[in-house]
Chain A
Amino acid sequence: GAGVSQSPRYKVAKRGQDVALRCDPISGHVSLFWYQQALGQGPEFLTYFQNEAQLDKSGLPSDRFFAERPEGSVSTLKIQRTQQEDSAVYLCASSLVRAGYSNQPQHFGDGTRLSIL
Chain B
Amino acid sequence: SQKIEQNSEALNIQEGKTATLTCNYTNYSPAYLQWYRQDPGRGPVFLLLIRENEKEKRKERLKVTFDTTLKQSLFHITASQPADSATYLCALPFTGTASKLTFGTGTRLQVTL
Binding site for B on A (CB under 8 A): 4, 31, 33, 35, 40-45, 48, 55-56, 59, 91, 93, 99-101, 103, 105-111
Q: Are B89 and A42 in contact (CB under 8 A)?
A: yes
Would you list 26 pairs from A and B whose C-beta atoms are within 8 A, ordered by A residue? A33-B100, A40-B8, A42-B91, A42-B106, A43-B44, A44-B102, A45-B94, A45-B101, A48-B100, A56-B97, A56-B99, A91-B44, A93-B43, A100-B93, A100-B97, A100-B98, A103-B31, A103-B51, A105-B46, A105-B49, A106-B46, A108-B43, A109-B43, A110-B41, A110-B43, A111-B43
A100 and B97 alpha carbons, distance in the complex (Å): 8
Q: How far is the CA of A77 from the CA of B83 in the complex (A)?
A: 33
How many angstroms between the C-alpha atoms of A43 and B4 in the bound complex?
12
Q: Report if A108-B51 is in contact (Cβ < 8 Å); known contacts: A41-B105, A59-B100, A103-B32.
A: no
B79 touches A (CB below 8 Å): no
In this complex, how many residues of chain B approach chain A with their Cβ under 8 Å: the count is: 28
Bound Cα distance A99, B31 (Å): 13
CB distance from A9 to the nearest CB of B (A): 9
What 0/1 readout, one digit per residue, does chain B (31-51) give for beta carbons within 8 Å of chain A? 110101000011111100101
* Residue B103 is within 8 A (CB to CB) of chain A in the complex: yes
Is there an interface contact between A55 and B106, defined as CB atoms closer than 8 Å?
A: no
**Minimal Cβ-Cβ distance residue in B for A38:** B105
A40 to B108, CA, bound (A): 10
Residue of A nearest to B48 (CB): A105
List A contacts of B49 (CB < 8 A): 103, 105
Closest 7 CB pairs of A and B: A100-B98, A42-B103, A108-B43, A105-B46, A99-B99, A45-B100, A110-B43
Q: Is the CB of A48 within 8 A of B99?
A: yes
